[in-house]
Amino acid sequence: MKMKKISFLLVLLMGIVNAQKLTPAEISIISQGEISTALPIYQTTDGHQHKTLLSLSSEIDPTDPQTAVLVKRMKESLLSTDGGVGIAAPQVGINRKVIWVQRFDKQGEPLEYFINPVIVWKSDIQNLGPEGDLSIPDFRDQFYRSKVIQLEYVDLKGQKYSEIVEGFTAVIFQHEIDHLFGILISDKKEREKNEAYKKVDAYQKSDLMRR
């Protein structure tokens, strides 16, 4: 366990050092309009925006002042939706590793941000449940997701964290982190048609699942 923690610290430190500075184009998107307002959510129906959604995201410097602005405006974007429970930076046009997730596993079900999140372990046990996406109009389908994950990430101060997440909240994390790899659920469904799964558990809170 000690060796694992040391390895995690080295990976995070290397990531922060290697994180490229935000480009002028990214800063322009982040700073457009009022800082306290929502950024527009990208849609697959727009060719340019769809390309951004399919692109791989890179790590971001958590201590960069622009990162804090991005985090704040992403939250406003999520709050502007009708029932959204998570959002990833590519969905506002920034291919960087930042997500917001509603924590149904915590009292009060708060919204929380995560910078440079990494899923380091997933359970073999999976749940089946419906998913939608804020960036894909009129699309909803059933997906299998691991019931439990181990997540590692940093906050805006660069503080490192590791935690175990399960259930519905774990599903949201997996969906949002998929966005950071350019994976959309519409494409995921096509790939899964050739994969075999064994249903192992009933899915709960299906009426809440919309990201």
Is position 152 annotated as part of the catalytic site?
Answer: no
Q: Are residues 192 and 131 in contact, defined by beta-carbon separation less than 8 angstroms?
A: no
> In whole numbers, what is the pLDDT of the chain averaged over residues?
88
pLDDT digits (tens, 9 = 90+) for 144-161: 999 999 999 999 999 999
Tens of pLDDT, residues 10-25: 544 554 445 689 999 9
User: Which one of the listed residues 109, 152, 176, 190 is annotated catalytic?
Assistant: 176
Which residue in this structure is represented by tokens 């749940």?
127
Q: What is the pLDDT of residues 84-129, one digit of tens each?
A: 999 999 999 999 999 999 999 999 999 999 999 999 999 999 999 9
Whole-model pTM? 0.83
Other CB atoms within 10 A of residue 188 CB: 14
Q: Are strands 148-154 and 126-133 parallel, antiparallel or unpaired?
A: unpaired
Q: Please check the confidence at residue 63 and state whether its pLDDT lies above 70.
A: yes
DSSP for 78-136, please give it: HHTSSS--EEEGGGGT--BSEEEEE-TTSTT--EEEEEEEEEEEE-S-EEEEEEEETTE
